[in-house]
Amino acid sequence: MIIHKKETITSFQLFFYMVIAQLNMGIFIIPMILYKYGKHDGWISILVSCFFSICLVILYSFIHKRFPNLTIYEICKLFFGKWIGGLLIISYILYFIYISFLINQFYLSSFSKWVFPNTPYWGILLLLLVIGVYLGKESLRTMTRLFQLTFWAIFIIFLFSLDAYQSIDWKYLLPIGQVNSLDILNGSYHTIFLSAGFECLLVVYPFVKDHHRKTIKSTVFSVLFVTIIYLFIVILCIGFFSPKEMKLIPEPTIYLFKTLTFFQELERLDLLFLSIWFVVIASSYVVYLFLASVGISNLLNLHKNQSLPIFTICLIIFLGGNFLPVSRDFMQKLLTIFSFASVCFLIVIPLLILCISLLFKIKSKEVKVI
């Protein structure tokens, strides 16, 4: 594959791209999910999931070291032929579209409940549609420059939490290590996929112009950074709310900020937080739109026109968001489907590709940048 120089990014820019991909709506529901499985030891599940996430990044690094000029779409076609490979390409495209749809639905659910209770669904979804079409058609380099600015919005979590840490009851986190190990692993299983985003490496790796080692190091650092964010917010929620409250609150992070004030000057930090966090959500949404559009362009040979695939995907998600329910039970079903699909696309297929390439000693040439 030939990459144009204006489409490439550095490993430093890749870090921001990966962080934005991993941070979206998970920040709202991960504390509740981890407490459901791991109780007061739920934060340990984040450390375990970090270990497995880094293992997956290393798996991807072995693949891309052998195929530095190929995205996962081209690798599937190379290994499995025109028909089976084509089906896998379509499957990956649908998987990335599905993640975009999940972000879309969680955004709709949270913002319609907390910020815009009287606004019709189509009006809320129109915001993501416009942003997706406008930014999704741009090059990877242009997106990443925006994500470098978006990155700083993440620190709003630490800024707004200054008052909360003074009210934490550390007894809620004790005793450490008494929860069943299987429950900890179960929580880690859900955390890995809810905080996933490192799978972007399967598509964007050929666009990174730096050395292989720098590229993988940036990805690992992004996983570690996101782990710190989730660890911070989960410990904060578990220590702030009582065990009875944690069992009942569906979105602990938002409820937390609702109860806080900022230096006794600002109230209802939840509204301010959601408004600022929308920038991160929209950016993460665009990340997966881009990944899906690369697959569509590869499948239909539309490399010179990204606008049509992006517009089509955004329109489908917009229509689906308007007609499908946003109830808690329906969202839980979507997450269950997502977790099963993630096992296949994040672990099984890449592992199968690596095993076949090692067994038959298959490699490709270096990427050519013009």
What gap in Å lies between CA 4 and CA 369, rounded to an integer?
A: 6
| Residue 268, SS3 per DSSP | coil
pLDDT of residue 366: 46
pLDDT of residue 362: 78
Mean pLDDT computed over 141-169: 85
pLDDT digits (tens, 9 = 90+) for 103-132: 888 888 888 888 888 888 888 888 888 988
Amino acid found at 314:
C
What gap in Å lies between CA 203 and CA 3, rounded to an integer?
A: 13
Which residue in this structure is represented by tokens 């489409």? 7
Question: In b/e form, how buried is each residue of 29-66, taking b as 16+ CB within 10 angstroms?
Answer: bbbbbbbebbbbbbbbbbebbbeebbebbebbbbbbeb
pLDDT of residue 190: 79
Flag whether pLDDT at 365 surpasses 80: no
Supply φ then ψ for residue 180, to 5 degrees. -55, 135
The CA distances from residue 237 to 35, 39, 142, 241, in Å, are 10, 12, 36, 6
Answer yes or no: are the C-beta atoms of 54 and 201 closer than 8 Å. Answer: no
Which residue in this structure is represented by tokens 């399967």? 202
pLDDT of residue 171: 87
Flag whether pLDDT at 3 surpasses 70: no
Residue 369 pLDDT grade (very low, low, confident, very high; cuts 50, 70, 90): very low
Q: Which of 18-32, 225-239, 250-264, 288-302 has the lowest mean pLDDT?
A: 250-264
What gap in Å lies between CA 101 and CA 316, rounded to an integer?
A: 9
The CA distances from residue 242 to 6, 236, 245, 256, in Å, are 52, 11, 5, 12
Flag whether pLDDT at 1 surpasses 90: no
Mean pLDDT of the chain: 86
Q: Is 6 exposed, middle or buried (0-12, 13-18, 19+ CB in 10 A)?
A: exposed
pTM: 0.91
Q: Compute the C-alpha angle 319/288/63, nearest 5°.
A: 145
Pinpoint the alpha helices (H) of the chain: 11-22, 26-38, 42-66, 72-114, 121-136, 140-150, 156-160, 181-194, 201-204, 212-240, 243-248, 252-259, 269-300, 307-323, 328-342, 349-359
Flag whether pLDDT at 300 surpasses 70: yes
pLDDT digits (tens, 9 = 90+) for 170-227: 888 888 878 888 888 888 887 887 778 888 999 999 999 888 899 999 999 999 999 9
Work out the percent of the chain whose per-residue pLDDT is above 90: 31
Mean pLDDT computed over 43-72: 91
Report which of 263, 21, 339 is spatially closest to residue 154, judged by C-alpha positions.
21
